[in-house]
A = this chain, B = another copy of it.
């Protein structure tokens, strides 16, 4: 079970593998491309992530090919990996949206500056 939260690196590896199987080096380039250069997955990080994701059953070794004398080891998502990625994408989207909402509130502050009924237990007066 994924008791621990997924790391950024793991998330982007899963995303790179979501549409088709890819090999390590291809994942590296794909992550950089799909994040528009914002996320740079390092080589030293990649294989650790790959091992961890495999151990967790989120990805599996799809096949091995020899292309131009160079070995390519392709990985692909499992069903569980697909589900985990979907859930994580949901969490990230929600987090990003919450952040943006708050940024807008904090800057413009139209209407009541204080949010009155925000959550339970916040009913304290001020000292």
Report A's interface with B, CB cutoff 8 A.
5, 7-8, 11-12, 14-15, 18-20, 29-30, 33-36, 38-39, 65-68, 77, 82-83, 85-86, 88-100, 102-103, 105-107, 115, 119-122, 124, 126-127
Contacts and interface: CB of A to CB of B under 8 A. Distances in A.
A106 B86 CA distance: 12
Number of copies: 2
A114 to B, nearest CB: 8
Nearest to A72: B127
- Chain A at the B interface: mostly helix, strand, loop or mixed? helix
A14 B14 CA distance: 26
Given A5-B8, A19-B102, A92-B96, 8 more contacts: A12-B95, A15-B98, A19-B115, A30-B119, A39-B91, A85-B99, A93-B122, A97-B120
